[in-house]
Amino acid sequence: DAGVIQSPRHEVTEMGQEVTLRCKPISGHNSLFWYRQTMMRGLELLIYFNNNVPIDDSGMPEDRFSAKMPNASFSTLKIQPSEPRDSAVYFCASSLAGVAGEQYFGPGTRLTVT
């Protein structure tokens, strides 16, 4: 099993540019999560999908952030326009047992916005 796959692993972009982060969950998992991790704020849940449907997006910081899950094997997190304060490590995780079960994390995407 390849585990959760995220791309790119590193992204450096200039303020104002659009950024798209990608995630492939573990096959058969029905729940997908996007997290952001910073030193200041720790690990924050941005959005949670169950069976490809967004269930909780209350953690999405603002309208500049959007997430989609067009099918069970792919999700994107988009930031448009990006700002320096968006710099963080973004993790995708998937779960077989819903939101309260064991989550499998991807390696993360380190985003730097200059």
Number of residues that bind other proteins (CB under 8 A): 21
Q: Is 75 in the site for other proteins (CB under 8 A)?
A: no
Of the ranges 19-27, 66-74, 79-87, 97-105, which one interacts with other proteins (CB under 8 A)? 97-105
Residue appearing with tokens 């704020």:
41
Nearest approach in angstroms of CB 53 to other proteins is 12
Per-residue b or e along 61-94, where b marks 16 or more CB atoms closer than 10 Å to that residue's CB = eeeebebebeebbebebebeebeeebbbebbbbb
State phi, psi for 86 to the nearest 5 degrees: -80, -10
Contacts to other proteins by CB under 8 A: 4, 35, 42-43, 45, 48, 55-56, 91, 93, 98-108
